[in-house]
Structure formats: C-alpha cells, structure tokens
Structure 1
Amino acid sequence: MSEHLIHATLPGTFYRRPSPDAAPYVAEGSQVEAATVIGCIEVMKQFNEITAEHSGRLLSFLLEDGDAVEAGQVVAKVVS
C-alpha cells in the first residue's frame, strides 16, 4: 500500500465544499480517481480547486473546513 500526499498549491483558506450549504466534494474513506476535486482554496475571492493526483482511498484530511493553509502544506492523504 502506498501513501500519497495532496499539497496546497496556494496560500489561502481551505474549503471541503463548494459552498456553505453544499455537501463536501469528497468524504474521508471515499475512493478517488486522479484529478478528483477534493477541495478548494480561496484567495482574494477566487476559488482554486485542489485535486487528487493519484487514484485510491482518501485516508484523511489534515485541515478542517475554513482553515488557513500555506502553499505546499499537506491537505490530505490518499492510499493506493
């Protein structure tokens, strides 16, 4: 089993859902494919999607919805 880390591409605010009243993009424990959107980062009112780079099971998020994030920070883990 291989563990893959998903990193933030930009500094900003991390969100697990596209809007406050929407369901999360993906839940912990869910299967994801490469390029599956798992969250987004808001920077100056622009939202940038974060995608899984590997197929597998999304093991965990390391940030909560609405947390500040730095570029390069680990956001989530995927195992394949």
Structure 2
Amino acid sequence: AAQPGAVTSPMVGVVYLGPEPGAPPFVAVGQPVAAGQTLLLIEAMKTFNQIKAPKAGTVARILVASGAPVEYGEPLLILE
C-alpha cells in the first residue's frame, strides 16, 4: 500500500544518504525538513541527482541504505 508521505525515487540508480563517504547524512529520523531541502542523492549515469523534500515535515523512516541500488518509483523515505 502506498504511504501518503513516501518520497519515491524518480530514477534508477544508486542512493547515497550523505554528500560524500564518511560525511554525515543529509537527514536523520526525527529531523524536521523544509520543502525543497536535499534529502539524499541518487547517482545515475555518473551524475549525482539531489532528491529534495516535496513538502515540509519530519523524517519518520529512512527505507534505503547508502550505496544500495534503487528502482524507479521505489520508496526512499517517509515524511510526516
């Protein structure tokens, strides 16, 4: 079932939770975020694409691990 606050992947690629290896993640569970804030990166064809919050809210769950492959439409995290 689709979660109302789910942020889904707009592309196939590899997800990264932080800007570079060893850096802290862009967001953490329980953190408030603003609309347009960068949540994570997806690398597709050697290009890093910022995935931004579609609305303001709080990060309820992060559903992917850094370095994991993702498919188009796959839920990445939940915003409440």
Q: Same fold (TM over 0.5)?
A: yes
Q: TM-score, normalised by structure 1?
A: 0.90
Q: TM-score, normalised by structure 2?
A: 0.90
1:36 match: 37
Instruction: Kindly report which structure 2 residues correspond to 1:4-23, keeping only aligned pairs within 5 A, or say none.
Output: 4-23=5-24
Contact between 1:39 and 1:51, CA under 8 Å: does it hold in 2? yes
Q: Which runs of 5+ in 2 are unaligned?
A: none
Equivalent position amino acid for 2:7 in 1: I
Q: Which runs of 5+ in 1 are unaligned?
A: none
Percent identity between the aligned chains? 32
SS at match of 1:23: coil
Query: What is the Cα deviation at residue 21 of structure 1?
Result: 2.2
Cα shift readout 1:2-44 (whole Å, capped 9, x = no counterpart): x411011110000100100211111111000111101010012
Contact between 1:14 and 1:65, CA under 8 Å: does it hold in 2? yes
